[in-house]
A and B are shown apart, each in its own frame.
Chain A
Amino acid sequence: MLGFYLHIPFCDKKCTYCDFYSIESTGLIDRFVDTLLTEIALLPCDERPLTSIFFGGGTPSLLQPEQIRQILDHIHQKYELDSGCEITMESNPGTVTQASLEGYRAAGVNRLSVGVQSFVAEELSFLTRIHSATDAQVAINHARSAGFDNINLDLMFALPGQTLESLTVSLNHALDLQTDHISAYSLIFEPGTPLHAQLLKGAVAPQAEEYDAEMYALVMERLAHGGYEQYEVSNYARVSSRNLQCVHNLTYWHGHDYLAAGPSAHALHRGMRSWNHRSLTAWTEKITAGHLGHANTEVLTPEQRRTELAFTTLRADGLPVDRFQAEFGVDVRVALQPHLGYWISDGLVEDRGTVLRLTRKGYQLCDPITLTVLDSL
């Protein structure tokens, strides 16, 4: 498995809750694409075929289809692509048309992620999104007509002012659309965002934990009932004869390598993690001078790798028992006693033989369980 993440750091308008690196100076896009092509040329070679490419942002759908094609061509010149290579692009329903979607599909993108977030007007306005509920539905229909047969829909919950009723409205809309994948995130008040500043001022309040938990339970239950299988804290794939789980994200969670390009993008390659400058200017300067865009790197110790693998697999489709034995010589079932016994009897964890997997109740308490796991390993 080898992934490739490209960060497209532009938005028409930044959302108040978002802490990904992004700027509103869309006039810089053309120059950015040139720099990105240069960066791809500078990246280390790898003989393994790419199994996934992911255009994240920002708003990658602000790039012209031709620009996406150019980038993919450059990648293809340097790396082999696996025959089933998953190529995902994030999009904002307010920025796509039937024509542009056809263009992205023709350029090679085969999975589209649509940032819907909610189907309730007040909630979209709270999130400072530029699209409407109808825009979202239209975008998804256009994507289908454009030939996308692997579409993800992003939702958010635990928004201030949201109720179980309004969340049900959004869930019903999402289920009606029967997209291939749904990501449903509980709102995070990320430090440094305008939303966090509002929180500090007391202008907004987070949902009470109890209600947040009820919403999360509702999401998990409705999506399961609607034919989606949860395989991570916030991710659900439609049950189908095809595997509709996101290959790229599983690459992260299963501890496999991923290359990266674009400001603020993180890579993990041959035991070293690197992350690019979180500034278009700084990143551009480095690349133009013929260097990689790294702000910093770290070489992971075996213990750090073990820690990362434990918490990323645990929050996804389960702690792989045999892999821990083989790679780290740890019998997790033994190491986790007496906690594992309690968790199983409390219905937080299931022992599925090959993996120890969180139940729906377990996903609710993923972080404290993770901490105890790390403390025990």
Chain B
Amino acid sequence: MKHFRNFSIIAHIDHGKSTLADRLLERTGRVTQREMVYNQILDDNPLEQERGITIKLHAIQMDYKAQDGEVYKLNLIDTPGHVDFSYEVSRSLSACEGALLVVDATQGVEAQTISNLFMAIDQGLEIIPVINKIDLPAAQTTVETVKQQVIDLLGCKEEDLILASAKAGIGIDEILEAVVERVPPPTGDPTKPLRALIYDSIFDPYRGVVVNVRVFDGVLKERDKIRFWNTNQAYEVDEVGILYMKRERTKVLEAGNVGYFTAAIKALTDTKVGDTVTLASNPCESPIDGFKEVKPMVFSGIYPAESDDFEDLREALGKLTLNDAAISYEAETSSALGFGFRCGFLGLLHMEIVQERLEREFNQTIVTTVPNVRYKVITNKGETLWVDNPSQLPDPTHIADIQEPYIRAQIIAPTEYVGTIMKLCIERRGQMLGQSYLSADRVDLTFDLPLGEVVFDFYDKLKSTTRGYASLDYELGDYKSGELVRMDILLNGEPVDALSSIVHRQKAHEWGKKLCKKLRELIPRQMFEVAIQAAIGSKIVARESISAMRKNVIAKCYGGDISRKRKLLEKQKEGKKRMKQVGRVEVPQEAFLAVLSLDD
């Protein structure tokens, strides 16, 4: 066991995590230079590569012959790189004894890095600070500041820092040596009953769920009868192995090691991240701490663009949940959009990923509604209702209290943007809890914010008003009461359920005005005038109108025009299919996301 080292890499997007991982694999002979050229090995999903983020976890074992002459088995356990997946990050960190903190020498520390770093420190991980990209010309002027930031942050000494460039191959040996020297070997007792942590699981259509685990105590063997502590499901293990570039069968996995097993498990819902695996007949005394049921935080309606495709969409969602257990979905009906699903996601990025996967991998053409959070409604009769679709909020006269989820947001940015960020957060009903300076020109701000205000375009706004310099991280807080009201949108007097939203009473007027204006831009003129109204209950708070089309006819259609005209009409007819009919009004699908692009 003293030859195992389990570690992960904590880094902000673009600070070089994937390149560094690739370089470590190359240095330990796991992949060749040739394979390296166009790939970042760990991010193997095209969506991950495009967005430069890690969505699913990966792990890989490397053999490294250290300067002491011994060969060590280094398990690199990757972490997902986005705030939506912070629970998964915490679980993969708890499978490790150490972490590389990678900071870009030209960018400095970012919010997401800090929150993941604190998570790692809380779990007692040994932190190895790495200043990356030191070969960049810009680094010459910034590296000293960044070094000081890291020293202040960790309370470490300057000699603890490793200066590196993953791209140029600088400092790679020092990093590998530091992993061996500084990261403690795993502790654990191979003679005790099995106690292993699930840090990830993926669905393989041929073998069922492949569970990735870190074994803390005992030994996991093929043919073992195992039980998952929290889901209480029992299975017989088929195959056990470690993760090299591909899965490699070893039949056993002993305490301290990281690997995978299969057991003809059909659903990811049985293998929850953070759960403990033990033996059915000889269980461990207690589970591994920190297990949480992951709950969706952001909800949105997903509808087929053409109502005939409802069953196809159901099938696609079913398949998608096989390898993404965090999605929830249930059928719902909208008078504007027809039959569809109300889906729950971990966060906004997760929502976008699901939408893109539905379109790309499952060929679905979908209409999505504006995301919202789940509200807690206490009725006058004292009942508690959970509302995740604004159109289902009960009549205000029946409501005693509405509560909404809050987050604690941490924003790190250059000091010159403090004013802008405060303004944005206050507009979003945020409350500042504190600010501290990371260095003379970087500030760390903490706010409590309603999540409902963040799911709109908060992140984009934050990025655009700070020229991309601010970084955001958040953790979920409590539910708090708010003066919330449902705002409906009416087109020619008919309410459009898919456009209803829950907003703060004081912002409702402004919101209604903007939304009506935006809809006026997005809804094309019809053969009649269209009235757009925003209403709270029966009170109209804003209105706009779209004047009727006056003339729309091509003057000529003779023998030579008919074929061309038919083809044009056929094409226009296809376009019309993507319009949704609300009463007599044809509404383009973009309109259902109008709220997301409201200008301030």
* B553:A315 contact, CB within 8 angstroms: yes
Which A residues from 250 to 264 make CB contacts under 8 A with B?
252-253, 258, 260, 264
- Residues of chain A lying within 8 A (CB to CB) of residue B563: 266, 273, 275, 298
* B527:A185 contact, CB within 8 angstroms: no
* A367:B555 contact, CB within 8 angstroms: no
Which B residues from 501 to 560 make CB contacts under 8 A with A?
526-528, 549-560
Known contacts A209-B550, A348-B527: does B559 contact A252 (CB below 8 Å)? yes
Pick the interface stretch among A24-32, A40-48, A303-311, A323-331.
A303-311
- Residues of chain B lying within 8 A (CB to CB) of residue A136: none
Pick the interface stretch among A110-118, A120-128, A368-376.
A368-376
* A185:B556 contact, CB within 8 angstroms: yes
* B558:A252 contact, CB within 8 angstroms: yes
- Residues of chain B lying within 8 A (CB to CB) of residue A212: 550-551
- Which of B560, B562, B573 neighbours the largest number of chain A CB atoms within 10 Å of its CB? B560
- Which of B549, B557, B584 neighbours the largest number of chain A CB atoms within 10 Å of its CB? B557
* A311:B551 contact, CB within 8 angstroms: no
A132 on interface, CB distance cutoff 8 Å: no
Which of the residues B551, B557, B559, B569 comes within 8 Å of A268, measured between beta carbons? B559
A364 on interface, CB distance cutoff 8 Å: yes
CA distance A128 to B328 in the complex (A): 67
Chain B residue with the shortest CB-CB distance to A214: B550
* A209:B558 contact, CB within 8 angstroms: no
A365 on interface, CB distance cutoff 8 Å: yes
B457 on interface, CB distance cutoff 8 Å: no
* A210:B555 contact, CB within 8 angstroms: no
CA distance A305 to B555 in the complex (A): 21
Task: Please encode chain A, from 357 to 370, with 1 for each CB lying within 8 Å of some chain B CB and 0 for all others.
Answer: 00000011111111
* B566:A209 contact, CB within 8 angstroms: no
Which of the residues B527, B559, B570 comes within 8 Å of A346, measured between beta carbons? B527
Which of the residues B528, B550, B566, B576 comes within 8 Å of A304, measured between beta carbons? B566
CA distance A146 to B160 in the complex (A): 108
Which B residues from 424 to 438 make CB contacts under 8 A with A?
none
A332 on interface, CB distance cutoff 8 Å: no
- Residues of chain A lying within 8 A (CB to CB) of residue B570: 307, 374
* A188:B559 contact, CB within 8 angstroms: no
A249 on interface, CB distance cutoff 8 Å: yes
- Residues of chain A lying within 8 A (CB to CB) of residue B566: 304, 307-308, 311
Which of the residues A186, A252, A258, A368 comes within 8 Å of B527, measured between beta carbons? A368
CA distance A252 to B584 in the complex (A): 33
CA distance A369 to B572 in the complex (A): 12
- Residues of chain B lying within 8 A (CB to CB) of residue A265: 559-560
CA distance A371 to B524 in the complex (A): 15
A166 on interface, CB distance cutoff 8 Å: no
CA distance A367 to B554 in the complex (A): 7
- Residues of chain A lying within 8 A (CB to CB) of residue B528: 346
Which of the residues B526, B551, B573 comes within 8 Å of A364, measured between beta carbons? B551
* B552:A366 contact, CB within 8 angstroms: yes
- Residues of chain A lying within 8 A (CB to CB) of residue B526: 368
A342 on interface, CB distance cutoff 8 Å: yes
- Residues of chain B lying within 8 A (CB to CB) of residue A275: 560, 563
- Residues of chain B lying within 8 A (CB to CB) of residue A268: 559, 562
Which of the residues B557, B559, B573, B576 comes within 8 Å of A258, measured between beta carbons? B559
Chain B residue with the shortest CB-CB distance to A305: B566
Chain A residue with the shortest CB-CB distance to B527: A365
Which A residues from 298 to 322 make CB contacts under 8 A with B?
298, 304, 307-308, 311-312, 315
Task: Please encode chain A, from 2 to 13, with 1 for each CB lying within 8 Å of some chain B CB and 0 for all others.
Answer: 010100000000
- Residues of chain A lying within 8 A (CB to CB) of residue B577: 375
- Residues of chain A lying within 8 A (CB to CB) of residue B569: 307, 311, 370-371, 374
* B553:A233 contact, CB within 8 angstroms: yes
B207 on interface, CB distance cutoff 8 Å: no
B295 on interface, CB distance cutoff 8 Å: no
* B565:A213 contact, CB within 8 angstroms: no
* A266:B552 contact, CB within 8 angstroms: no
A216 on interface, CB distance cutoff 8 Å: yes
Known contacts A212-B551, A308-B566, A366-B553: does B573 contact A374 (CB below 8 Å)? yes
- Residues of chain A lying within 8 A (CB to CB) of residue B560: 20, 264-266, 275
Chain B residue with the shortest CB-CB distance to A371: B572
- Residues of chain B lying within 8 A (CB to CB) of residue A375: 573, 576-577
CA distance A363 to B562 in the complex (A): 18
A170 on interface, CB distance cutoff 8 Å: no
Nearest-neighbour CB distance to chain B for A311, whole angstroms, equals: 6
- Residues of chain B lying within 8 A (CB to CB) of residue A260: 559
- Residues of chain A lying within 8 A (CB to CB) of residue B573: 371, 374-375
* B559:A365 contact, CB within 8 angstroms: no
* A371:B576 contact, CB within 8 angstroms: yes
- Residues of chain A lying within 8 A (CB to CB) of residue B584: 342
A245 on interface, CB distance cutoff 8 Å: no
- Residues of chain B lying within 8 A (CB to CB) of residue A266: 559-560, 562-563
CA distance A210 to B573 in the complex (A): 26
CA distance A304 to B528 in the complex (A): 29
A59 on interface, CB distance cutoff 8 Å: no
CA distance A260 to B562 in the complex (A): 14
* B555:A365 contact, CB within 8 angstroms: no
Chain B residue with the shortest CB-CB distance to A187: B555
Nearest-neighbour CB distance to chain A for B190, whole angstroms, equals: 70
CA distance A3 to B558 in the complex (A): 12
Nearest-neighbour CB distance to chain A for B448, whole angstroms, equals: 50
Known contacts A307-B569, A311-B565, A374-B573: does B550 contact A188 (CB below 8 Å)? no
Known contacts A312-B562, A346-B527, A365-B527: does B556 contact A234 (CB below 8 Å)? yes
Known contacts A275-B563, A308-B566, A374-B573: does B550 contact A185 (CB below 8 Å)? no
* A367:B559 contact, CB within 8 angstroms: no
Nearest-neighbour CB distance to chain A for B582, whole angstroms, equals: 13
* A5:B559 contact, CB within 8 angstroms: yes
Nearest-neighbour CB distance to chain B for A46, whole angstroms, equals: 16
* B555:A185 contact, CB within 8 angstroms: yes
* B558:A233 contact, CB within 8 angstroms: no
* B572:A364 contact, CB within 8 angstroms: no
- Residues of chain A lying within 8 A (CB to CB) of residue B565: 311
CA distance A93 to B526 in the complex (A): 41
* A308:B550 contact, CB within 8 angstroms: no
Nearest-neighbour CB distance to chain A for B558, whole angstroms, equals: 6
Nearest-neighbour CB distance to chain B for A272, whole angstroms, equals: 11
CA distance A371 to B573 in the complex (A): 7
CA distance A150 to B553 in the complex (A): 28
CA distance A177 to B557 in the complex (A): 26
CA distance A203 to B563 in the complex (A): 31
- Which of A315, A368, A369, A371 neighbours the largest number of chain B CB atoms within 10 Å of its CB? A368
* A210:B550 contact, CB within 8 angstroms: yes
Chain A residue with the shortest CB-CB distance to B558: A252
- Residues of chain B lying within 8 A (CB to CB) of residue A20: 560
Nearest-neighbour CB distance to chain A for B470, whole angstroms, equals: 42
Some 7 contacts from A to B, beta carbons below 8 A apart, are A185-B555, A187-B555, A273-B563, A365-B553, A367-B553, A368-B549, A371-B572
Closest 3 CB pairs of A and B: A213-B551, A213-B550, A366-B553
Task: Given A315-B553, A365-B552, output 7 extra A-B contacts at Cβ < 8 Å.
Answer: A186-B555, A188-B554, A252-B559, A311-B566, A312-B562, A367-B553, A374-B570
